[in-house]
Structure 1
């Protein structure tokens, strides 16, 4: 069968789908990944076939815009203003972003790309004639195209946020601006109208889903890189990974970069530290204490199995990779889906959440000491890993997807 998959311009949103797409290809099915041009190379490196026909929807702009709205409503938790939604530059006050600029930017960065993507996805589907369409929550043109051409579809979650969240804060994370889809006559194209959901989360993490749930094991893919030689040597002390997302500084401003704070916290512990962040952020880490290694773009599925704990921002990619590898976590949620991710993970006993807005070295140090030293956190993380391992593999999901396409 032919499978069409739509993805956004944010690699960590579609990385969780890679193993499922590999499984489909290995079973002899054709897979085309419909994507923006920026994702063509990453899709190719993942061993998949890109169809770069979508426009670039600026997700960082959407996040910064939401942050400005939060600041205007008094819900921005930081002592610096959010970055300018369009430029990403620091602002002295949110009033610097006015209504006229919002109107222009909204048309240029949201309305036009989304409308174009709807048309492009439908046109591709009509030519490609898929038997099944898969998409991630911020690539809803996949659902639109499936309805227009009359084939089955399923959305693939990237983490603990589900399709039918009751909490507005959780539901707003996966809202997609679908207003321009109405003229295509496909009905309401919204996440809570999907019929089938591929859920890679162990049950204790609890994404809220009211559609047919297709459970699958979370199988980490964090990009193609070499295994560095030093990673093959077992650590002589407990190894703690520090992972900071590539997008956070762009969305929340330079003040949100917590790696220096975390390193100050870990200085008082007898641990080895590996900082894993973007190349740009890694270049800005000035820390020379022995036992601290700073690396850029190291896939987490290679690093985390060697670690006693991981400290990170709460993004689903890092969180779920740590779940799959059974590593206790300390989460400093900054915004978007991260507070919900952190809360649901902490409720399992496998992590401690220290909100970024109030974090200080003492709180982070105490949290890391606890998850490394107290057996209950390791036991809870191991239980989550077993729960993940008990789910069917991506290869085993293929049969269910074949049946879905044949309905």
Structure 2
């Protein structure tokens, strides 16, 4: 069969789909990934075939816009002004972003790319004639194309946030401008109208879904990279891995970078520290203590084995990769879906949640010490990992997808 997939310009949101697409290829099916032009390289490096036809939805703009709205409503939890939604530059006052900026940027960065991408997905589906369309929650072009051409579809979740959420703060992450796809007369196109959901979350972490749930094991793919042989050596001291997404600085401003704070908290502990940061965030880390090793081009799933704890910002990719590895987590959620991710994981006992706005050196040190010293956290993390292993592999999911396409 032919399987078309649509993805957004946010790699960590579609990376969980990659093992499933590999499994479809290995089973002899054709796979084509419709993507924004910026993702043609990442898709190709994943060993898949891109069709760079979709619009470039400016997701950092959406996040920064939400932050400005929160600041205007008095719910922004930080003591600095959020970055300018369009440029990402520092603002001294919210007044620097006005209604005219909002109207122009919303049209250019959201409405136009979404409308263009929707039409492109339909055109591609009509020409390529897929039997099934898969998409991730930020690429609703896939659901649109499936309805227009009349083929089954399924959305692949990236973590603990589901398709039927009551909290508007979570639902806003995946909504498009109202009416973007109305001209195609495909009916309501929101996540709570999907019929099939591929859910990679183990029991105890499963998100709200009111549709046919297709279970799959979360199989980490964190992008291409190398495995240094030293990660195979047992650490001489307990190892703590620290990961901070580079996108956070762009969306929440440089003060949101918590790595320096985390390293100060770990400096007095008898631990070995691995730090995964990239891009401009490396400059913000500054000099590192002697017990710190920087990870360069090492995928997270390669670095985690041997770790006694992991500290991160609450992104679904970090969280779910750590779940699969059975490592207890300290989650410092900064915004977007991260608070929900952190709360749901903490409820399993496998993590401690410490909101970024409340994080101090002492509170981080206390939380990491608890993860290292209290065995219940590790046992809970290992239970989640075992439940993940019990789920169908991506290869095992292929049969369900074949039945969906046939039916």
1:103-142 to structure 2, matched below 5 A, reads: 103-142=103-142
Closer/same/farther in 2, CA of residues 305 and 176 from structure 1, 3 Å limit: farther
- Partner residue of 2:281? 281
Paired with 2:209 and 2:15, the residues of 1 have a C-alpha distance of 21
Deviations 1:284-329 (A, max 9, x none): 3222321101223420110111210000000000000000000000
SS in structure 2 of the partner of residue 305 of structure 1: coil
SS in structure 2 of the partner of residue 284 of structure 1: helix
Paired with 1:254 and 1:382, the residues of 2 have a C-alpha distance of 34
- Partner residue of 1:43? 43
Contact 2:199 2:206 (C-alpha < 8 Å) held by counterparts: no
TM-score where L is the length of structure 1: 0.99
1:175-194 to structure 2, matched below 5 A, reads: 175-177=175-177, 179-194=179-194
Deviations 1:322-352 (A, max 9, x none): 0000000000000000000000000000000
Structure 2: which 5+ runs fail to align? none
Contact 2:267 2:291 (C-alpha < 8 Å) held by counterparts: no
Contact 1:24 1:395 (C-alpha < 8 Å) held by counterparts: yes
Paired with 1:381 and 1:241, the residues of 2 have a C-alpha distance of 15
Contact 1:314 1:332 (C-alpha < 8 Å) held by counterparts: yes
Structure 1: which 5+ runs fail to align? none
Paired with 1:356 and 1:13, the residues of 2 have a C-alpha distance of 22
Deviations 1:338-379 (A, max 9, x none): 000000000000000110001100000000000111110000
- Partner residue of 1:234? 234
SS in structure 2 of the partner of residue 110 of structure 1: helix
- Partner residue of 2:12? 12
2:271 matches 1:271: yes
- Partner residue of 2:375? 375
* Count of equivalent residues: 407
Paired with 1:191 and 1:272, the residues of 2 have a C-alpha distance of 42
**RMSD (Å), alpha carbons:** 0.9
SS in structure 2 of the partner of residue 20 of structure 1: helix
User: Could you tell me how far 1:178 is from its partner in structure 2?
Assistant: 5.1
2:37 matches 1:34: no
- Partner residue of 2:325? 325
Moved over 3 A (4+): none
TM-score where L is the length of structure 2: 0.99
Contact 1:33 1:48 (C-alpha < 8 Å) held by counterparts: yes
